[in-house]
Amino acid sequence: MSYVDEVIEQVVKQNPAEPEFHQAVKEVLESLRVVVDANEEKFRKDALLERLVNPERQFKFRVPWVDDKGQVQVNTGYRVQFNSAIGPYKGGLRLHPSVNLGIIKFLGFEQIFKNSLTGLPIGGGKGGSDFDPKGKSDREVMAFCQSFITELYRYIGADTDVPAGDIGTGAREIGYMYGQYKRIKGVYEGVLTGKGLSYGGSLARKEATGFGLLYITAEMLKSNGQDIAGKTVAVSGSGNVAIYATQKAQELGAKVVTVSDSTGWVYDPDGIDLEALKEIKEVKRARLTEYKNYRPNSEYHDGKGVWTVKVDIALPCATQNELDLEDAKALVANGVMAVCEGANMPTTLEATEYLQKSGVYFLPGKAANAGGVATSALEMSQNSERLSWSFEEVDSKLQGIMVNIFHNLDAAAKKYGFDGNYVVGANIAGFEKVVDAMTAQGIV
Ligand code: NDP
């Protein structure tokens, strides 16, 4: 049996009931086969893949808090510190009822390669809780965040592990967590990113993931002789990534015709009204059913469906496995040209293969959504030098990073004979730097 197959089998056996983690490991290791095969003897001797798929450490802890009725609630918190070969652990905190250890591990594993791809000195980590901020009062969210950090503070720090936002963790949650960390440690340091502008946050961090997604999408199209201007785009989700992806797509001259949330989706043939979307989601924290009040010409549909609309480009920006084989078939039948992942692993393995076989340009999340963590690393730099850069300065660095990521993964794909396979290219480009650092640092 090949080394890759052996390690995949071990991961499945040693981590039962963690299907998302198995999926992420399979996707990465399968595409690294060509590099691993070429170095099999050395990698085997160093147990390199075994070390790569086993987190350096992981924490699971109780998070008790009191709700508005005086009832004590108990959630579970997680932090997985996956790999620190190239820098302090870096990765978001997901607050969603679906969170479990397997999901955090899949996200942490992906984060290693994503962070490496940015070219910045950040290792891979991820955390979160099964707490659902939806429907909770501000006081309840604060009570949860304070309790969460009261346990987590001992494992994180500006030079060890720097968490950030993710699904369910926005500016409000980061603020409460930062306040509690500072209170306990008595240190004003850049321990979290995604902070508010008044206390060490970076301009353009909020926009970074969505903007970065469009920068790299535009670069990929350009290098394939296409222009993003004039293209029709389907976006899923209506959270942080989706909103700023929509904004940048519009600024680049494309027309976004869909957005969605966990209950339904909107089709607006005239193009999504960005101001209405921001008001509904960022100000009112309401459901997309409200969108029709702003745009009577639009349609609201319950359930899934964004991928049935005829578009040139699909940008899944909601959650994992939201675009399956049936969706991929519908997109291809409608002539889609590119699928670029704003979310983490939104496309199933079967759907990815189908899209690639059908000649669709496919950019994986670890490259396409790396703008968020890249800008988080820029926030860390600003905190370290106690300075704040202008929006334009951060945005232009972000643009440069995304363009670089595309050319690095494109070159890696070509070098190993997988021209145009950006999944293979991203995994190899991310992997090489981490392996180099792990090898140089010995058996740790
Ligand atoms: P948000 O919480 O701001 O938004 C998430 C969006 O996805 C919401 O519209 C939400 O709908 C929808 N959604 C969540 N879960 C589901 C589900 N199970 N089914 C259907 N829709 C769902 O999160 P972000 O925009 O920050 O993150 C979106 C994705 O991007 C995630 O995969 C995240 O890991 C990834 N990402 C985020 C980065 C960032 O900087 N924020 C950086 C890199 C990746 P509803 O409101 O109804 O729940």
Do 127 and 166 reside in the same domain of the chain?
yes
Ligand 1 atom closest to the Cα of residue 205 is 40
| Residue 152 and residue 79 in contact, taking contact as beta carbons nearer than 8 Å | yes
% of the chain beyond a pLDDT of 70: 100
Do 224 and 338 reside in the same domain of the chain?
yes
Q: Residue 282: give the domain boundaries.
A: 207-368
DSSP code at position 57: E
pLDDT band with cut points at 50, 70 and 90 for residue 408: very high
Q: b or e along 41-72 (b: 16 or more beta carbons within 10 Å of the residue's beta carbon)?
A: eebeebebbbebbbbbebbebebebeeeeeee
- pLDDT at site 98: 97
Q: How many domains does the chain have?
A: 2
Average pLDDT of the chain? 97
Per-residue pLDDT, averaged over 362-373, amounts to 97
| Residue 373 and residue 122 in contact, taking contact as beta carbons nearer than 8 Å | yes
Ligand 1 pocket test, pick from 162, 240, 301 with the greatest ligand atom count within 8 Å of Cβ, gives: 240
Ligand 1 binding pocket includes 165 (Cβ within 6 Å) = yes
Ligand 1 binding pocket includes 347 (Cβ within 6 Å) = no
| Residue 351 included in any domain | yes
Task: Please report, as a single letter, which amino acid is at residue 288.
Answer: L
Ligand 1 binding pocket includes 55 (Cβ within 6 Å) = no
| Residue 61 included in any domain | yes
Which of 368, 403, 420 marks a domain boundary? Answer: 368
pLDDT tens digits, 286-304:
999 999 999 999 999 999 9
- pLDDT at site 97: 98
The region that residue 348 occupies, defined by phi over 0 for left and psi between -120 and 50 for alpha, beta otherwise, is beta
pLDDT band with cut points at 50, 70 and 90 for residue 249: very high
- pLDDT at site 321: 96
Do 223 and 119 reside in the same domain of the chain?
no
Ligand 1 atom closest to the Cα of residue 168 is 2
- pLDDT at site 389: 98
Ligand 1 binding pocket includes 343 (Cβ within 6 Å) = yes
The pairing of beta strand 299-302 with beta strand 264-267: antiparallel
% of the chain beyond a pLDDT of 90: 100
Cα(98) to ligand 1 centroid in Å equals 12
CATH number for the domain harbouring residue 264:
3.40.50.720
pTM, two decimals, is 0.94
Do 180 and 211 reside in the same domain of the chain?
no
Do 231 and 340 reside in the same domain of the chain?
yes
Do 223 and 338 reside in the same domain of the chain?
yes
Do 172 and 112 reside in the same domain of the chain?
yes
Do 326 and 298 reside in the same domain of the chain?
yes
Do 183 and 310 reside in the same domain of the chain?
no
Residue nearest to atom 34 of ligand 1 (CA): 344
- Catalytic site residue 195? no
